A and B are shown apart, each in its own frame.
Chain A
Amino acid sequence: MGEVRVSNVSRRFTKDNDTSTLALDNVSMEVNDGEFVCFIGPSGCGKTTLLRIISGLDKPDKGEVYLDDRVIDAPGPDRGMVFQEYSLFPWKTVIENIIFGPQMSGIKKKEALEDAEKYLELVGLQQFRDSYPYELSGGMKQRVAIARALANEPSVLLMDEPFGALDAQTRNILQQELLEIWEKNNITILFVTHSVDEAVFLADKIVLMSARPGKIKEVIDVGLPRPRDRTSLEANTLRERILRSLVREQKK
């Protein structure tokens, strides 16, 4: 199960005692098991902060986050994360990166390797099994990062603009692949993005956030049938609506 509940979470960053930023202001929301939720909002509105709190890497000043009714207070293998920056361990090969999580939870190397092949296949990189990260393109690196996160069999996958650094074409391909993985594995995905197009293509639910202090402005149920067509009329209307809302937010 992967049911995430964020309840009255606030987070303030303090710098030299007098200046401080309120990154999240009393944020509450719920994500159902197996849902694909995209977060979108102006830069600096606290999307990364929210994701880091859910992952357990950061702690809220007020409020709690629950995963299946258990309070989250530390990172754990039930929540996988794909970072915006390339985060593969450069000293490990592709396959060694993927088995890192399972090995940490005490699974024997031989078994972990067998499982890892499955995830390698899922992201289509069998050929690059023994390559080092420096030998991979940006898109391949993020594919491996996804496989590495999935190898822990998390119930929730947190993704912070994972395709932000990729070109439009690679981005589209990876979005498609991600949807296939999501459908196959029955996981909850929380996905931060800058791109309205990406959100409309991927999400069941889009969370619009407002600029500082970060708050949830609106939650939009996408409700478009899958597989989706990027150019359909409904998609266009929805994109326009979100864009308008974002522009209003940025002007503030």
Chain B
Amino acid sequence: MVKKHLQKLSGKSVEIVSICSAIILWQLIAVYVVQNKFYLPSFTDVTFAFVDILSRDAKLDLLGLDYQLPVLLVDLIYSLMHFWIGMLSALAIGIPVGMIMGWFQTIDRIVDPLIEIIRPIPPLAWIPFAIIWIGLNPLAAGFLIFIGAVFPIIINTFTGFKNVSRVYVEAAKVLGCNTDRELIRYVALPYALPSIAAGIRIAMGVGWMCLVAAEMFGVSRNGLGYKIWHHYYLHNMEFVLVYMLLLGFLGLFIDRVLRYYIDGKLLKWRKGVVI
């Protein structure tokens, strides 16, 4: 009977049951097995902590602004600011570099070895230099995220440009599209767009992962990543978990929005292609 009823429910029933049981299991283990809030806060601990955070205020002290806002919102604003400083600069530099490398063979040969040497260095290894060069400010956090995000963007843009079929370039030439600039603008760029978009998605994932570490060394007094360390020092592990979950959900949300936009708007013409 129960089974039948479940099947009748929407297609999401299995997923809902899965999540609910995981939460119940977590609660049982935390309360009856671990029995220590410091090692494993329970689901209810985390829920109360979340409600508690919601009621707190903080001062948004940014660019001469001075507002009293919910603390969560302030953290979110700071984190998104760090993230976008890094992402936007990665886009602004990564896409042109990838395009030029993909189109002009000589430039590829000059730049490629340098990139191949720098790329394997984990982004977090740049923290000391980020502090020395830029100082303890949001730009330093942006720099780390930039380092993490720029290489996937360069490489995917480059690959997209390299793969432009000769027949499209020649068809365009015969139709009167002759300069490098026109060919890049009207043929290579639209052709490479799916690959570039995939690169941006990867870059956003990597950038998001760099965020916690980038905020760890005290670039600002707020931020979702910073708050993880802040509450860890205060031994408020249920608060740590709240911020961890928030980072997870936000990352998921950003990826979903991006994917929706890319698939729905940008890549209508790829429907015939099996990816």
Contact = CB atoms under 8 A, between A and B. Distances in A.
B269 A134 contact: yes
A55 interface: yes
Contacts of A101: 175-176
Contacts of A77: 175-176
Contacts of B191: 89-91
A110 to B, nearest CB: 19
B176 A104 contact: yes
Contacts of A32: none
Describe A's contact surface by its main secondary structure.
loop
Given A85-B167, A134-B269, A152 B190 contact: no
B40 interface: no
Nearest to A89: B168
Interface string B141-171: 0000000000000000000000000011011
B176 A132 contact: no
Grouping DSSP codes into helix (H, G, I), strand (E, B) and loop, the B interface class, with mixed when no group exceeds half, is helix
Contacts of A81: 170-171, 174
A132 B175 contact: no
A104 B182 contact: yes
Nearest to B182: A104
Contacts of B73: none
B187 interface: yes
B167 A87 contact: yes
B271 interface: yes
Contact of B269 (A75, A90, A148): A90
A94 B173 CA distance: 18
Contact of A75 (B168, B173, B270): B173
Contacts of B193: 91
Given A57-B170, A83-B167, A91-B193, A134 B175 contact: no
B272 interface: yes
A57 B176 CA distance: 12
A77 B177 CA distance: 9
Contacts of A76: 176
Interface residues of A, number: 29
B181 interface: no
Contacts of A89: 168, 171-172, 187, 190-191
A91 B269 CA distance: 5
B168 A105 contact: no
A187 to B, nearest CB: 15
Contacts of B272: 90, 132-135
Contacts of A91: 190-191, 193, 269
Contact of B175 (A56, A85, A104): A104
Interface in A50-73: 55-57
A213 B176 CA distance: 32
Identify which of B167, B170, B171, B182 gathers the most chain A CB atoms within 10 Å of its CB: B171
Interface of B: 167-168, 170-178, 182, 186-187, 190-191, 193, 268-273
7 contacts: A57-B174, A87-B168, A87-B171, A89-B168, A91-B191, A104-B175, A104-B182
Given A79-B174, A100-B175, A132-B268, 6 more contacts: A87-B167, A87-B171, A90-B270, A100-B172, A100-B177, A134-B272
